Amino acid sequence: MTRKNLGRATLAALPFVLAFLIHLILFIALKDRLPTRLAGHFDVSGDANGYVDRTAYVLATAPVLPVLGAVWVLMVVRGRMYGRAHRLLNGGGWAVAAFLQYVLGAALIVNLDTPEGGPAGSFPMWHLAVAFGVAALAGAVGLLLTRLVPAPEDPDAGKGPADRERITLADGEVAGWARTTGAWWTPVGALVLAATATGLGYGGNWYVGTALLVLTLLVLAFSRAHVTVDRRGLTVSGLLPWPRVQVPLERIESADSRQVNAVAEFGGWGYRIRPGRTGFIVRSGEAIVARQANGRELAVTVEDSATGAALLNTLVDRNRAGR
């Protein structure tokens, strides 16, 4: 790891390390005033409707900040974000860490001095407003600190549309390209989520069960990507016809084929939105990356992406020439 990358990784990890230490110190300091059974879930009115053993609470919450911090470091160091997008990603990490730390800390505070077996205190909704305020302040601090470490430079910054690969087509020749791709584990994950949601529903916890069912539908919707390149531009849809993403030729500047790391560049799978880029990501691997005229990128993981990108560049040229 270079010295610059070490500095970027340190800046990205710092808010999560600080938030983890604050949460751990707060728990140790308040442990003697906490009941052995903590209120760990609250309804929309702030009343406790779920409880968890104090030790289980620590085991469940302690890894959240370190794991999320590790993912954020990976995105900062290997996420192919440059300039303003890189700074926003760093600032976002500070905001997320601060928000989570405040919410976890507030959950401990409302459990203070609760009698064993007695009702827990409520979780006032103003805590969420304060949490967002703290997150905004921490995000601003993170943005200021990014000035201490130079953002990485885009290796493609000097490449123009003329440097991209193309497919030769005769005058009047019509061409199109289409592929479907997916990952084997997404349908399996959807089945597990559906089974869990059903079990929770039968157990009476329909609040969480319904949320998991919605998540199941989202996982299924983005479990496969249908990608088309033709005279309409670049079109991407999931397992269902909707939601659909379409970028017309007139909005595309150029297209490339390159390898994409789902976690490092987009923080996961599905339809992902990041500073300066959007992704329809069903797996890691080769992808079509279309750069739009406004500088924003759309990345779509799909096999034979080199052919799709080359044809897209050819069709963009034709559209500009008015043929």
What is the per-residue pLDDT across 111-168, written as a single tens digit (0 to 9) for each? Answer: 888 776 555 567 788 888 999 999 999 999 999 998 888 777 766 655 655 667 888 8
Give the pLDDT confidence score for residue 118 in this predicted structure: 54
Mean predicted confidence (pLDDT) in 178-192: 78
pLDDT above 70 (res 108): yes
DSSP 254: E
Contact between 319 and 293 under an 8 Å Cβ cutoff? The reply is no
Q: What is the mean pLDDT of the chain?
A: 83
Give the pLDDT confidence score for residue 159 in this predicted structure: 61
| Letter string b/e over residues 206-240, b meaning 16 or more CB atoms within 10 A of that residue's CB | eeebeebbebbebbbbbbbbbbbbbeebbbbbbbe
DSSP 121: P
Contact between 289 and 299 under an 8 Å Cβ cutoff? The reply is yes
Percent of the chain with pLDDT over 70: 87
Count of beta carbons in the 10 Å neighbourhood of residue 94 = 28
Contact between 299 and 278 under an 8 Å Cβ cutoff? The reply is yes
Contact between 21 and 62 under an 8 Å Cβ cutoff? The reply is no
Contact between 315 and 309 under an 8 Å Cβ cutoff? The reply is no
Measure the CA dihedral 152/156/158/162, to 10°: -170
Confidence of residue 97 (pLDDT cuts 50, 70, 90): very high
Give the pLDDT confidence score for residue 39 in this predicted structure: 77
55-80 tens-digit pLDDT: 888 888 889 999 999 999 988 888 87
Mean predicted confidence (pLDDT) in 2-24: 88
219-251 tens-digit pLDDT: 777 777 889 999 999 999 877 777 788 899 999
Strands 48-53 and 224-230: unpaired
Give the pLDDT confidence score for residue 208 in this predicted structure: 66
Give the pLDDT confidence score for residue 213 in this predicted structure: 76
Give the CA count within 13 Å in the CB-facing half-sphere of 283. Answer: 14
Give the pLDDT confidence score for residue 233 in this predicted structure: 92
Helix H or strand E segment including 214: helix 206-221
Give the pLDDT confidence score for residue 155 in this predicted structure: 63
Give the Å distances, CA to CA, from 77 to 1, 65, 92, 204, 270.
9, 18, 15, 44, 21
- Note if the bond before 119 is cis, omega within 30 degrees: no
Give the pLDDT confidence score for residue 178 in this predicted structure: 92
237-289 tens-digit pLDDT: 877 777 788 899 999 999 999 999 988 888 888 888 887 889 888 888 999 99
Better-predicted residue by pLDDT, 20 or 125: 20
